[in-house]
Amino acid sequence: TRLRTESCRRILEEVNISLVRGNASEILALADADSTTKGVDASHSVEQAAETAKELAKQYSTAVAITGKIDIVTNGFLLQSAANGHALMPRVTGTGCTATAIIGAFAAVSKDILSAATSALSFLGRTRQKFMRTCSPDFSLYLVTDQRLSLGRSTEEVVQEAVAGGVSCVQLREKHLPTRAFIERARSLCAFLRGRNIPLIINDRVDVALASGAQGVHLGQKDMHISDARSLLGPSFLIGISAECLEDAIEAWQNGADYIGISPVFATKSKTDTAPPLGLDGIRAIRQRVELPLVAIGGINGENVNCVLAAGADGVAVVSAIVSAPSPAESAKQLREKIDKARQKK
């Protein structure tokens, strides 16, 4: 409101304030720039408010911090920024107040307000990322179905055996199944998996995911954009994104993906329309830059699963290693044992 904005300006004029924190719209409103914000709504980007923040800092001889998808801190001359945010954070009440409190704690033990604020927001960013990663489902052994490779067995039969062996997440991939049959199969698997607390992810089809009651959807680079999928599915739905390079992974992370499928790690016959294999170095590069759960897929089997996890993957996705095995249950069990042993060594 105008009363609150004027009160903030009067405080800045009469009191020696070390730092002002707000979202982009709040900072623009305080500087009397173009803004239609009400309350804590952030209708402007951080980039729009960066130059305004510098002028505001000079005007009141203070530091200004703008928090959002990208955090910016400036004293009017220097400007520091970091991509600490997450697309889902605006849906969490109180993150701005938390940022203010943490900045205050850091400032209390530092004479350099710019460094204190930057460090505080980096710390908060790391905790957000860690939370998003650790609160995710168990992606340790992620099965991707393929009816063509199932040796004549039904998808339901393969999934049931695989779950008995230790599969922790299932993606239903049915490229050629008619929509109604796809939904029916998804509902059948949902009924089986829900009681076992195992999420069902639908490949590509947001409509099937919604209609079937699945817990998530996995999208490729040419599928529906994640922002459109999120607007249809809501904040609680799992959305995974395939990444064929570091840039894909960073973009997915910044746009609010819940996990990233790194594809392909090794050459594979299960999927031939992918980019060249990323290899273990590709996993390491993405792990260094992205704090989301990483699920590696492509040519993964019992012989290389250990090195894939050691490179930074949180889980492995397999197709033929389970669906084409004589015993999906036994194959899943062997893979799960190797995954669990590799985790114990970390």
pLDDT computed for residue 40 by the predictor:
44
Per-residue pLDDT for 283 more than 90?
A: yes
Among candidate residues 242, 270, 320, 324, the one labeled active-site is 242
Among candidate residues 128, 173, 230, 333, the one labeled active-site is 173
pLDDT tens by residue, 143-185: 999 999 999 999 999 999 999 999 999 999 998 899 999 999 9
Cβ neighbours of residue 115 under 8 Å, at least 6 residues apart? none
Q: Domain 136-345: give its CATH architecture.
A: Alpha-Beta Barrel (3.20)
The domain ranges of the chain are 2-133, 136-345
Per-residue pLDDT for 300 more than 60?
A: yes
pLDDT computed for residue 33 by the predictor:
61
DSSP string, 242-309: EESSHHHHHHHHHTT-SEEEE--SS--SS--SSPSP-HHHHHHHHHHH--S-EEEESS--TTTHHHHH
- CB burial string 117-145: b at 16+ within 10 A, e below: bbbbbbebbeebbeebbeebbebbbbbbb
Q: Pull the structure tokens for residue 127.
A: 């905790």
Q: Pull the structure tokens for residue 343.
A: 């985790």
Q: What is the mean pLDDT of residues 117-134?
A: 78
Q: What is the mean pLDDT of residues 121-137?
A: 74
Least confident of 203-207, 234-238, 297-301: 234-238
pLDDT tens by residue, 57-96: 999 999 999 988 788 999 999 998 877 766 556 667 788 8
Among candidate residues 9, 58, 194, 271, the one labeled active-site is 271
Residue 173 is a catalytic residue: yes
Helix axes 113-134, 95-107, angle to 10 degrees: 140
Residue 212 is a catalytic residue: no
Residue 271 is a catalytic residue: yes
pLDDT tier at 270 (50, 70, 90 boundaries)? low
Helix axes 155-165, 179-194, angle to 10 degrees: 30
DSSP state of 326: S
pLDDT tier at 295 (50, 70, 90 boundaries)? very high
Per-residue pLDDT for 133 more than 60?
A: no
2-133 belongs to which CATH class? alpha beta
Per-residue pLDDT for 52 more than 70?
A: yes
What pTM did the predictor assign? 0.69
At 83, the amino acid letter reads A
At 273, the amino acid letter reads D
On the question of a common fold for 2-133 and 136-345, the answer reads no
